[in-house]
Amino acid sequence: MFSRAFFSNRFKCLRLAHSLSSSQCAYFLHFKSKGSIANLESGNFSPQVDNLAAISSLFAVSLDWLIGSTNTPYTADSMKSIEDYIWSTISLNMNPFMSEYLEHMCISNEYKQLDQRERYPLPVRANIVFLTSLLFTISEEMLSMLDKIKNIKNEVKRTLKNKELTIDELTPTHEELKTLIDAYDLSARKKGTASKTKKTALINEVLELFFERTEPIAYTQKITKSDDYLSVVELINHLMNDADTRILFDISKQPIKLREYGRVEQ
């Protein structure tokens, strides 16, 4: 039976345990804004079914715990289902960025085999799922931006007939992106379209994603002290290959009122 109060508490517990700001949590869950997070945590709104599924998958907790039906956040069955879902989703939607991350990921033989994977504590397996999900979300956002960059480059070439405009479509440099944005601005002015709004949007969408403090970069810096996404891979490798590893994101360390009871602790 669903309990809005228990859900609100436990959702907030998960966000705080993973050191996520409201805006970062919204980003990784594909919610519209941090206001959506605040409404769920305050109990103003009940989550939709797809919200519950997304939260359960990201943090690798059981739906029963999330809605207040049990006090056990992790079970062997729910963990296996979530792991299967995450890895199959990645396999079916592989992209160049995620492929690079996986090349640097030292997936232990014990983790690959389910009967041996059980030696990992469930909270550690949940941490691995969480970090892997973050990398996949980041990789998809990067891929989406590259598609936009490719379309912009083609439009600039058509309008300006600039055959010499070159840009690495997989790993563009800061200077290449600035050159492309300036060329796009010139292209828009030549066509007589309003370019200021378009240019501002492009700078926010493209330049920030690759080089400035967007949500994924800010969060990566928070948990790894680095803005290189491969540092997240290093955390995963540590969890998979260090027998004495400690849980990185431990919901059991959160106040008991957030984990167990039906009223959010302010």
Q: Give 202-254 pLDDT, tens digit per residue.
A: 555 555 555 544 677 788 888 998 878 889 999 999 999 875 667 899 998 88
Residue 211 shares a structural domain with residue 262? no
Residue 197 shares a structural domain with residue 172? yes
pLDDT (tens digit per residue) in 174-194: 666 667 667 666 666 666 554
Residue 136 shares a structural domain with residue 205? yes
Residue 39 shares a structural domain with residue 149? no
Residue 189 shares a structural domain with residue 199? yes
What's the whole-number mean pLDDT along residues 15-31? Answer: 93
Residue 172 shares a structural domain with residue 195? yes
Residue 142 shares a structural domain with residue 232? yes
Give the total number of structural domains in the chain: 2
Residue 261 shares a structural domain with residue 155? no
Residue 77 shares a structural domain with residue 190? no
Token representation of residue 102: 């996986």
Q: Which domain holds residue 121?
A: 94-248
